[in-house]
A and B are shown apart, each in its own frame.
Chain A
Amino acid sequence: MSKFKKKAEVKQEIPTSSMPDVVFMLLFFFMVTTEMRKSSIEVKQQIPKAAQLRKLERKTLVANLYIGQPTEAKFGTEEKIQANDAFISTEDIIRWVNEEKSKLAEAEREQLTIAIKGDKDAKRGIIADVETELRKGNARKVLYTAADNAGAKKN
């Protein structure tokens, strides 16, 4: 009578034999993408949000400048500029730019982009001083690092 026969009992187990392979694949992915930070960032870094973000074309052509209040109280509350692993003053920026440029191949030196990772509470004054120095140091491509807020707010 019944046209629909009960299906035969099916094993309800997920094959796990390939699990190590999957895990290993994930593992390799993270091993390759991980970048151990050479230096810890000693300034506050709450990156402001923006919508009109642009990706960088070549990551090797980027030098980072971190600007914000020092995280440790012993360095005071005045905003500082951190390049690589040390605080630098605005006068040192030209020298730092030249150092970064010398790390690149001759033909690529003009394409060096400076990523300014400014804390959202950092003041415009110090960042403008940095920009002035960068102009003098002829590193005129600048990227203000920002986090994506697309979708959060339409503007």
Chain B
Amino acid sequence: MARSTPEIPNASMADIAFLLLTFFLVTTTINNDKGLSIGLPPPPDPNKNEEVKMQEKNIFKIQVNSSDALLVEGEPMEDVSGLKEMIIKFVKNKGVDPASSESPEKAIVSFKTDRGTSHKRFVEILDIIQGAYYDIYAEQAGVTNKEFREAASQLADPEKKAIYERGKKDYPMNISIAEPTKVGN
């Protein structure tokens, strides 16, 4: 008995697929999980006096006030483009200039903001400080800044980990983000 094989018309399949595709295209939000990563210090111990004396010359002071104005080492700064070079020079000083840092281990970049400082300004300055360190690391590891940062997020890979460790050697990222002052709120 000859049986006619039933067929489903599939001319509209492409249309349906397009419709679904457009739906998912529109609703998809590619998660942006990128940013500036920092490690916070452990909580302050009330039993211990945390007062640590640091030599003034080993601290690179960056202050931002409530109206987002910048003070670098006591001097007001309008244009931030030279800040990164200043930090690199400070960290890599190694006692050459007696008024600057003694060694990369002792060098600390202190970043103090006000409660009224905008998050945008905070991220901008933190970006520059971290950029200075990443530039040093990348140079030491012999890769580009971008390659170094990529390696830093793939530490499971032994090859990447080697790059990361070679870059970070002798240069701890001493960024101190101080408790904000309370002038503006």
Segment at the interface with A among B54-62, B89-97, B98-106, B151-159? B151-159
Q: Looking at the complex, which one of A37, A118, A138 makes contact with B119 (CB distance below 8 Å)?
A: A118
Given A52-B131, A54-B153, A155-B131, answer yes or no on A122-B37 (Cβ-Cβ < 8 Å). Answer: no
Q: Does B2 contact A (CB under 8 A)?
A: no
Tell me if A's interface is mostly helix, strand, loop or mixed. mixed
Q: Looking at the complex, which one of A57, A115, A127, A131 makes contact with B153 (CB distance below 8 Å)?
A: A57
Taken together as a complex, chains A and B put the C-alpha atoms of A36 and B31 apart, in Å, by 11
Q: Verify A52–B40 contact, CB threshold 8 A.
A: no
Taken together as a complex, chains A and B put the C-alpha atoms of A50 and B131 apart, in Å, by 10
Taken together as a complex, chains A and B put the C-alpha atoms of A103 and B58 apart, in Å, by 42
Q: Does A92 contact B (CB under 8 A)?
A: no
A-B CB contact pairs (8 Å), 6 listed: A34-B27, A37-B29, A48-B119, A120-B123, A124-B122, A145-B33
Q: Looking at the complex, which one of A26, A49, A59, A135 makes contact with B33 (CB distance below 8 Å)?
A: A59
Given A47-B32, A55-B34, answer yes or no on A124-B24 (Cβ-Cβ < 8 Å). Answer: no
Nearest-CB distance from B40 to chain A (Å)?
4
Q: Does B73 contact A (CB under 8 A)?
A: no
Residues on the A chain within 8 Å of B126, using CB: 50, 144
Given A27-B21, A57-B155, A145-B32, answer yes or no on A124-B116 (Cβ-Cβ < 8 Å). Answer: yes
Write the B113-126 contact mask toward A (1 if CB under 8 angstroms, else 0). Answer: 11111111011101
Q: Looking at the complex, which one of B24, B34, B42 makes contact with A146 (CB distance below 8 Å)?
A: B34
Q: Does A73 contact B (CB under 8 A)?
A: no
Interface range for A: 35 or more
Count B interface residues, CB 8 Å.
Answer: 60
Given A23-B14, A54-B149, A144-B119, 8 other A-B residues pairs in contact with their CB atoms under 8 A: A37-B29, A52-B127, A115-B35, A122-B119, A123-B117, A123-B119, A127-B122, A145-B35
Q: Verify B30–A20 contact, CB threshold 8 A.
A: no
Residues on the B chain within 8 Å of A15, using CB: none
Q: Verify A124–B37 contact, CB threshold 8 A.
A: no
Nearest-CB distance from B37 to chain A (Å)?
5
Q: Does B8 contact A (CB under 8 A)?
A: no
Residues on the B chain within 8 Å of A36, using CB: 27
Residues on the B chain within 8 Å of A120, using CB: 118-120, 123
Residues on the B chain within 8 Å of A4, using CB: none
Taken together as a complex, chains A and B put the C-alpha atoms of A145 and B127 apart, in Å, by 11
Residues on the B chain within 8 Å of A144, using CB: 35-38, 119, 122-123, 126
Nearest-CB distance from A146 to chain B (Å)?
5
Q: Verify B35–A53 contact, CB threshold 8 A.
A: yes
Residues on the B chain within 8 Å of A88, using CB: none
Write the B3-27 contact mask toward A (1 if CB under 8 angstroms, else 0). Answer: 0000000000110011011001101
Write the B130-168 contact mask toward A (1 if CB under 8 angstroms, else 0). Answer: 110010000000000110011011111000000000000
Q: Looking at the complex, which one of B20, B43, B154 makes contact with A135 (CB distance below 8 Å)?
A: B43
Taken together as a complex, chains A and B put the C-alpha atoms of A75 and B112 apart, in Å, by 31
